[in-house]
Amino acid sequence: MRILLSNDDGYRAPGLKALADALEGLGELTVVAPEANRSGASNSLTLEMPLRVYDAEPGWYFVNGTPTDCVLLANSGLFDEPFDRVVSGINDGANLGDDVLYSGTVAAAVEGRFLGLPTMAISLAFHSSHGAIEPRPRNFATAGRVARELLDRQALHPLPRSTILNVNVPDVPYAQLRGFQATRLGFRHRSENIVRATDARGRPIYWIGPAGKGQDAGPGTDFHAVEHGYVSVTPLQIDLTRHVALEGLGAWLNQAP
């Protein structure tokens, strides 16, 4: 099995190294990841400049582009042999609820699905307070072990190839995990206000405010699972059509002006 690994934190990120270590021996691993941190890149493609691919070490490559660029390049002629699946992560932070719309980690998995491959995005959900990370050890090895277990399970009991798994792992030692839960995406409150500052020349600059806390975060959601010590596993789909609204929209369009 040929497995493509990518992320949005950059090819030097500790989460990516932990993922590669955890999946060692499962198949032929190839890493194609961004040159630098591209968190929040979503599904963006680089179209106005050429992409360059660099060798970091055997089997590891980095690209001056986005996570989507990396997965697209890897599966569209960069290598002679096709890949069997894409695993993206381990993201340094959660990708819960609305986060999936912005996440480069999830976007890399989505791009793999566009290309016909089963995919997984895996994130380490650290605890934070008003956007600040609490000083504590990071348990990337826990998330790596979870990724390995899920891939082993898929090998024995394959899911439909159209499945995208969005996995969020509590940032605790593996022994403290309470188990796995199948979840739906929750929703966050709106993000906090922008942060105003000035640069060295006194000109105004702005930072995007911290993400809002969970709003729709009750039982059954990814927020609730992680908060209570469970690994959240959410199946995602690409089709954004609101199918239940089609009939009503058609009737609305057919009304006389």
Residue 197's H or E segment, with its range, is strand 195-198
Query: What pLDDT band is residue 238 in, cutting at 50, 70 and 90?
Result: confident
User: Across 35-143, where does the E strand assignment appear?
Assistant: 53-57, 60-63, 85-92, 119-125, 128-129, 132-133
The candidate with the shortest Cα–Cα distance to 5, out of 169, 173, 117, is 117
Query: How far is 140 from 170, CA to CA, in rounded Å?
Result: 10
- Label the pairing between strands 214-216 and 187-188: antiparallel
Query: How far is 148 from 63, CA to CA, in rounded Å?
Result: 26
Interval 78-95: pLDDT, tens:
999 999 999 998 999 999
The candidate with the shortest Cα–Cα distance to 113, out of 74, 144, 85, 93, is 85
**Residue bearing the bigger pLDDT, 46 or 196:** 46
Q: Is the pLDDT of residue 250 over 60?
A: yes
In this prediction the pTM is: 0.86
Q: Region 235-253: what's the mean pLDDT?
A: 92
Beta bridge partners of 121: 88, 166
Total of domains in the chain: 1
Q: Region 201-217: what's the mean pLDDT?
A: 67
Looking at residue 201, its pLDDT comes to: 83
Q: What are phi and psi of 208, to 5 degrees?
A: -65, 135
User: Is the alpha carbon torsion for 178, 180, 182, 185 positive or negative?
Assistant: positive
Looking at residue 161, its pLDDT comes to: 83
Interval 96-146: pLDDT, tens:
988 899 899 999 999 999 888 999 999 999 755 444 445 566 899 999 999
The candidate with the shortest Cα–Cα distance to 168, out of 109, 119, 112, 126, is 126
The boundaries of the domain holding residue 234 are 2-253
Interval 137-183: pLDDT, tens:
689 999 999 999 999 999 999 998 888 999 999 999 999 999 999 99
Beta bridge partners of 5: 31, 87
Interval 43-68: pLDDT, tens:
888 898 999 999 999 999 999 999 99
What's the token pair of residue 234?
A: 């959410």
What's the token pair of residue 46?
A: 């680089």
Could you say which DSSP state residue 1 is in? -
Could you give the angle at the alpha carbon of 68 between the alpha carbons of 66 and 70, nearest 5°? 75
Q: What is the CATH number of the domain that holds 181?
A: 3.40.1210.10
Query: How far is 103 from 162, CA to CA, in rounded Å?
Result: 19
- Whether 181 and 231 have beta carbons less than 8 Å apart is answered as yes
Query: How far is 182 from 4, CA to CA, in rounded Å?
Result: 24
Looking at residue 133, its pLDDT comes to: 47
For tokens 């999830």, the residue is 106
